[in-house]
Amino acid sequence: MNQFPRYSFATCGLGFLLLCSGACAGGSGDTPPASTGGHTATGGATSGGTSGSAAVSGGSGNTSGGSGNTSGSAGTIGVAGSGGAGGAIGTAGQGGSLAPAGGAGGTGGQAVGGTGGSGATGGLTSLAPGNPPVLSAGCGKPTTVTNGKHTIMSKGASRSYIIDIPTGYDVNKPYRFFYTSHWIGARAEDVVGQDYYFLKPLATAANEPAIFLAPQALPGNPGGTWSTSDDTDQVLFDDILAYVKENLCIDTTRVFATGFSFGGMMTYSLSVNHQKDIRAAVGIAPANYNIYVPTKTHQPIAWMQTTGMSDGTCPWVNSDAQMRGSKYIGIEHGTDNGCMVPTNIPTWTQGAHLCVDFPGCTPGHPTKVCTFNGPHTNINSDPGSNVNWIPQESWKFFTQF
């Protein structure tokens, strides 16, 4: 028997049709659960160095410096270079690997040799699982950041968020950072009430503490939605991430995003243009419409999603003609990730939940599509189990990096 409550979702009024993140289906929205509230996000691009010079890949591999790398061939880790001004991590070359901190003139400069193949523009898109951590500017410095609710100025408005820093926070330890967006009509407190989509207990159990943050939508937005018309909440993510990097010690190559329903839609919105900041994202019951969608870069990003096959709010398919629905999110990210996207993606028909890992994805960019027997929810257990598998699958997906 499922130990978690089922959630019911009210119909959005017609006036809210295009504003309800939960109105993915074009007519119904979600309301927070009666008890714990919330449902089940995270990211961070690295820069090529805080001030130091970039390293040079060995052999005929990549060279770093200035604003990034140029694509090369083969190459192994080379010797530290003497030039370069740090810059953003640049284009992936073939066969290279993470070069050591470079340059005699500075600190922290790094170059990415990449995994070969397409030579995608730098940032996190070139990293393979298991890369050494890249420390944020806040590492090694005392912090004044405290647990709880805080505000930050973003795009001329005071925005609030709740942050959770591990007990015994170590200024020299680069932590994973999770950015967790709430669903429609909810608050950051509701995400905290679910232990950040149930990820925090898993981090604790694995003895891998992380920093979790739950942002709050603008109070004036109808229904407590994320922005449906402009980049207001994209800028909020940028401002919060910059603040966290400067004031806390995180691994800037292990910034993750997740969220349920409208929060899943916000996660999707970030995933199409923040691939240099967000290493991997999990959209729980997401949709690709009724949310602000920026100009897409079509760069790769590790992506996982979940959808209940009886979800009438954010369904598997809303419109084939318009390519609306979570099915088309999976196809989009699978394509951008260089995967062999199945012509007919297998979905749940009976028994336990079904997760499909697309084959052939470029290194570091897995694409996982999970479906199950259930409605619009982030809480589901398989027959004969009382374990919510959604955070379990999410945690495994995030921690493979």
Rg (the chain; Cα; Å):
21
Cα–Cα distance for residue pair 233/270, rounded to 1 Å = 9
pLDDT at 25: 56
Q: 0.85 cut: is pTM over it?
A: no
Residue among 247, 296, 251, 250 nearest 127 (CA): 251
Cβ atoms of 212 and 180 within 8 Å: the answer is yes
- Output the tens digit of pLDDT for each of the chain's 401 residues: 333 333 333 333 333 333 343 447 554 344 333 333 333 333 333 333 333 333 333 333 333 333 333 333 333 333 333 333 333 333 333 333 333 333 333 333 333 333 333 333 356 888 988 999 999 999 999 999 999 999 999 999 999 999 999 999 999 999 999 999 999 999 999 999 999 999 999 999 999 999 999 999 998 888 889 999 999 999 999 999 999 999 999 999 999 999 999 999 999 999 999 999 999 999 999 999 999 999 999 999 999 999 999 999 999 999 999 999 999 999 999 999 999 999 999 999 999 999 999 999 999 999 999 999 999 999 999 999 999 999 999 999 999 99
| 14-45+139-399 is a CATH 3.40.50.1820 domain | yes
Cα–Cα distance for residue pair 161/134, rounded to 1 Å = 25
How many angstroms separate the Cα of 170 from the Cα of each of 63, 141, 256, 399?
Answer: 34, 10, 20, 20
**Amino acid symbol at 23:** A
With both helix axes pointing from N to C terminus, report the angle between 195-205 and 389-399 in degrees, rounded to the nearest 10. 60
pLDDT at 352: 98
pLDDT at 26: 53
Cα–Cα distance for residue pair 136/247, rounded to 1 Å = 9
Cβ atoms of 63 and 72 within 8 Å: the answer is yes
pLDDT at 242: 98
* Residue boundaries of the structural domains of the chain: 14-45+139-399, 50-119
Cβ atoms of 261 and 63 within 8 Å: the answer is no
